[in-house]
């Protein structure tokens, strides 16, 4: 075979592999329609979404399983594309499965035209947003669109010839990274955009050596739009003898999804009222506390809090808790952990010797002696603290139990005080 023909063939195979890989492994449904709305090709994600086998989907109309209330609106937009008054549209609608289950989706439809401007087929990207619909009330944002169609992803493709060590991005990925006029990036320029802390995640060695055939990495990439979180699916293509030949990759911007997950994590680890850590958050952060050989756990309880709730109501009690949280944060260090475990009980975990713990306990008790403004009147509460100090990284539950015993002793001695001791 002539070298030029071989080069064209290999590159055609690579382009086909890139498209098929993106099409079949997209986390969203992708479907091609003809101008009558019949399905010409759909991917596995779309088949799962509508609950219809791929072979059955062939030649079905999108209206066959759409919710009756959504059909007219969808058809109106679809017909306007066919008529040439618009190039595409985005719409939220519902599918109805055979078992009656309703699936909420968002659809982005784009017309594909020939050289004369006539529509020859239409591409739809369909994402199941049923879960997001349920959580929209809390987050007020839509799910991130993880587009894997060639002309619709936020990101793009790259490939690497293993034998030659030649790496090249697609035009779209280069433009996503460096702007509209960017040329395709080689490996050096691409890796220069990866956050240095994430270089291990971007490493291709297991694929280059043939150790694995597929891997997925997540890393931060510096782009024209700022630093973005990228999910990169990589697949190895082998020579007939099994040796690595080419690696193809799809880089997708999933920053919105990443931030949403981080927000979920943050909310699950913090107290909704005060913004301090909750029990789960304390448990998660305790192993990460910088431990220089000594640490203390202080257990604090408010004295007189129940009276505030009983006399002034729970909204007044909330104001007291918020003010307590503020005073705690003012009297601890930035590296200390402050947690509201529930009700009027708080936990402080801090690194350092017993003297540091005593200073902080004294400051906290003193700060709580100042009246609290609950709006229109002032109330007084006090704080009692029991704490333990240790020079070993003792399990948190054991330290809290020890602090609880000392808190009980401090209350029995008259409250409005602190009592610390070494952990036995």
Tell me the DSSP string of 214-246: EEEEEEEEEETTEEEEEEEEEEEEE-TTS-EEE
330-354 tens-digit pLDDT: 999 988 999 999 889 999 999 888 8
Q: What is the pLDDT of residue 287?
A: 85
Q: 28-135: which CATH architecture? A: 2-Layer Sandwich (3.30)
Residues in the chain: 424
**Which DSSP letter does residue 310 get?**
H
Query: Of all residues in the chain, what percent carry a pLDDT higher than 70?
Result: 91
Q: What is the pLDDT of residue 281?
A: 85
**Of the candidate ranges 129-133, 149-153, 387-391, 406-410, the one whose mean pLDDT is the lowest:** 149-153
- Does position 275 have pLDDT exceeding 70, yes or no? yes
Q: What is the pLDDT of residue 270?
A: 84
Place of tokens 């020859």: 120
* CA distance linking residue 312 with residue 377, whole number of Å: 10
* CA distance linking residue 200 with residue 220, whole number of Å: 12
- Does position 7 have pLDDT exceeding 70, yes or no? no
* CA distance linking residue 106 with residue 260, whole number of Å: 18
CA triple 156-157-159, angle to 5 deg: 160
* CA distance linking residue 252 with residue 258, whole number of Å: 12
Pairing of strands 382-390, 418-422: parallel
- Does position 82 have pLDDT exceeding 80, yes or no? yes
Instruction: Name which of 231, 230, 235 is nearest 212 in CA terms.
Output: 235
Secondary structure (DSSP) of 249-306: EEEEE-HHHHHHHHHHHHHHHB-TTT-SB-HHHHHHHGGGS--SS-EEEEEEEEESHH
Q: What is the pLDDT of residue 424?
A: 58
Fold of 270-422: Alpha-Beta Plaits (3.30.70)
Rg (Cα) of the chain, in Å, rounded? 30
- Does position 179 have pLDDT exceeding 50, yes or no? yes
Q: What is the pLDDT of residue 144?
A: 35
Confidence of residue 325 (pLDDT cuts 50, 70, 90): very high
User: Which CATH superfamily is 1-22+146-267 part of?
Assistant: PAS domain (3.30.450.20)
* CA distance linking residue 70 with residue 199, whole number of Å: 47
- Does position 17 have pLDDT exceeding 50, yes or no? yes
Q: What is the mean pLDDT of residues 36-52?
A: 88
Q: What is the pLDDT of residue 363?
A: 94
How many other β-carbons are positioned within 10 Å of the β-carbon of residue 101? 10
Instruction: Name which of 198, 263, 192, 259 is nearest 232 in CA terms.
Output: 198
- Does position 23 have pLDDT exceeding 80, yes or no? no
Instruction: Say whether 28-135 and 1-22+146-267 share the same fold.
Output: yes
Q: What is the pLDDT of residue 261?
A: 79
How many other β-carbons are positioned within 10 Å of the β-carbon of residue 400? 20
Structure-model confidence comparison of residues 173 and 115, the more confident one: 173
Confidence of residue 204 (pLDDT cuts 50, 70, 90): very high
Confidence of residue 418 (pLDDT cuts 50, 70, 90): very high
Q: What is the pLDDT of residue 383?
A: 94
Pairing of strands 418-422, 39-42: unpaired
Confidence of residue 9 (pLDDT cuts 50, 70, 90): low
Confidence of residue 271 (pLDDT cuts 50, 70, 90): confident
Q: What is the pLDDT of residue 140?
A: 45
- Does position 406 have pLDDT exceeding 80, yes or no? yes
**Structure tokens that stand for 137 in this block:** 């009330």
Average pLDDT, the chain: 86
Biggest CA pair distance of the chain: 95
Q: What is the pLDDT of residue 157?
A: 86
Q: What is the pLDDT of residue 5?
A: 58
Domain boundaries, given as residue ranges, for the chain: 1-22+146-267, 28-135, 270-422
Confidence of residue 227 (pLDDT cuts 50, 70, 90): very high
């Amino acid at each position: 075979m002539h070298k030029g023909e071989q080069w064209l063939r290999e590159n055609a195979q690579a382009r086909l592999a890139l498209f098929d890989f993106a099409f079949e492994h997209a986390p969203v449904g992708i479907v091609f329609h003809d101008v009558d709305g019949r399905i010409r090709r759909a991917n596995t994600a779309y088949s799962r979404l509508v609950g219809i086998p791929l072979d059955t989907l062939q030649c079905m109309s999108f209206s066959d399983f759409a919710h009756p209330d959504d059909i007219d609106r969808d058809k109106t937009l679809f017909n306007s594309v066919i008529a040439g008054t618009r190039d595409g549209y985005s719409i939220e609608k519902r599918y109805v499965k055979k078992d009656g289950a309703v699936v909420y989706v968002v659809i982005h439809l784009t017309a594909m035209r020939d050289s004369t401007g006539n529509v020859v087929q239409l591409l739809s990207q369909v994402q199941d947003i049923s879960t997001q619909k349920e959580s929209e009330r809390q987050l007020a944002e839509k799910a991130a669109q993880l587009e894997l169609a060639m002309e619709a992803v936020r990101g793009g493709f790259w490939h690497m010839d293993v034998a030659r060590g030649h790496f090249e991005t697609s035009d779209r990925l280069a433009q996503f990274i460096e702007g509209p006029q960017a040329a395709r990036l080689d490996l050096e320029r691409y890796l220069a955009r990866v956050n240095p802390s994430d270089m291990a995640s971007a490493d291709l060695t297991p694929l280059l050596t043939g150790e694995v055939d597929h891997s997925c990495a997540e890393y931060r990439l510096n782009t024209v739009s700022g630093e973005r979180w990228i999910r990169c699916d990589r697949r190895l293509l082998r020579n007939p003898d099994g040796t690595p030949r080419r690696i193809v990759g799809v880089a997708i911007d999933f920053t919105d999804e990443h931030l949403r997950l981080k927000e979920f994590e943050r909310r699950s680890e913090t107290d909704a009222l005060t913004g301090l850590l909750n029990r789960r958050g304390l448990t998660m952060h305790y192993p990460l506390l910088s431990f220089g050989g000594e640490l203390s756990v202080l257990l604090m309880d408010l004295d007189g809090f129940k009276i505030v709730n009983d006399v002034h109501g729970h909204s007044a009690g909330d104001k007291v808790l918020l003010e307590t949280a503020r005073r705690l944060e003012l009297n601890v260090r930035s590296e200390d952990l402050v947690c509201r475990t529930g009700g009027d009980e708080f936990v402080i975990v801090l690194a350092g010797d017993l003297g540091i713990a005593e200073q902080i306990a004294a400051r906290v008790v003193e700060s709580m002696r100042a009246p609290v403004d609950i709006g229109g009147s002032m109330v007084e509460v006090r704080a009692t603290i029991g704490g333990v100090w240790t020079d070993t990284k003792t399990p948190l539950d054991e330290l809290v139990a020890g602090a609880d015993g000392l808190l009980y002793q401090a209350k029995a001695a008259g409250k409005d005080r602190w009592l610390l001791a070494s952990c036995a």
